[in-house]
Amino acid sequence: MTLKELVANIGIELEDECFEVTGMNTLSDATESEISFVANSKYIKDVANSNAGAILIDEANKDALPDGCVALVVESPYWDMATLSKFFSTPIEDNNLPKAIIGEGTSVSAKAEVANGAVIGKNCRIMAGAYVGASAKIGDNTILYPNVVVYKECVVGNDCIIHAGTVIGSDGFGFASNRVGEHNKIYHNGNVVIGDNVEIGSNNSIDRAVFGSTTIKAGARLDNLIQVAHNCEIGENAVVASQTGFAGSSKVGRSNVFGAQSGVAGHLEIAPFNTFAARTGVTKTVKTSGKTYAGFPFMDHKLWLKIQGKIARLIK
């Protein structure tokens, strides 16, 4: 729809049609035919370099917009972004899409379901109760064990093993809240991309991105009962033990190791080749490699051991 038609849904009246809107995206990734938003003053610095055709912004910051960008001035940009996000969501299933393509040598259980538009590669095994959503893609030699769910538009690479009950591509935990405590759903219109030679244990939840992709890179190994939130990036050959959680937009470098019940806060970056002991709580960005951490909040593992020793002596 045109920009004029779109923003009428949040009570903005424009004099002309402006342009045909093709999507909604972040400030850094938006193109001239997409709209974006500024929900926090710390992102004002990114506005000047944005290529977005229009930006949702509040009155106080509207002058920061670059020339040629349409200012969509609202009281709460985050709330209105959530309202508009639903207009960019594709159908859950679409009967107008072509029938699924199943590669040579692939076995699909009669009790599994593959939606229209999906593509499954060669020599795969899709077991009972599994579901592959609309326009999802599964590479060659991949196994989906019983009751694995791959939502629409998600991508799984070659030579992957995904164990029973894992859900790939469900919506992330994202919503806008207003002053009276009401919540407005943010539609997650990105996807999940899983690289080649990845093994994922049972009952994992890997959320789709708001924009772009949640990514599990090649060679990663995920144990059972792991949560990967929207827009996370898990690096190549990462090893993650059971009950670990990654909050939204955290980026983990290659070959990191996470012990059981560890956790990473949102919007952090972790350098490659680090080890985090069981129950480690990562609360800030890690810029160095080759270290071992423990505790909450996390610290050098040797320091944590010393502290535990002193506490033990205190209570004797």
**DSSP codes joined into one string, 224-244:** SS-EE-TT-EE-TT-EE-TT-
Domain tally, the chain: 2
**Domain residue limits at 142:** 101-304
Residue 105 lies in a domain: yes
Cα distance between residue 200 and residue 188, in whole Å: 22
Residue 297 lies in a domain: yes
The pLDDT profile of the chain, 316 residues, written as one tens digit per residue, is 999 999 999 999 998 888 999 999 999 999 999 999 998 888 888 899 999 999 999 999 999 998 899 999 999 999 999 999 999 999 999 999 999 999 999 999 999 999 999 999 999 999 999 999 999 999 999 999 999 999 999 999 999 999 999 999 999 999 999 999 999 999 999 999 999 999 999 999 999 999 999 999 999 999 999 999 999 999 999 999 999 999 999 999 999 999 999 999 999 999 999 999 999 999 999 999 999 999 999 999 999 999 999 999 998 7
Quick check: bond before 297 cis, omega within 30?
yes
Q: Annotated catalytic sites, by residue?
A: 230
Instruction: At 261, give phi and psi (nearest 5°).
Output: 65, 20
Residue 136 lies in a domain: yes
* Predicted model pTM: 0.95
30 and 139 housed in the same domain: no
128 and 275 housed in the same domain: yes
143 and 198 housed in the same domain: yes
13 and 132 housed in the same domain: no
118 and 225 housed in the same domain: yes
26 and 159 housed in the same domain: no
Are residues 189 and 212 in contact, defined by beta-carbon separation less than 8 angstroms? Answer: no
Residue 291 lies in a domain: yes
Cα distance between residue 195 and residue 236, in whole Å: 9
Measured between alpha carbons, how far is residue 195 from residues 25, 48, 117 in Å? 23, 34, 20
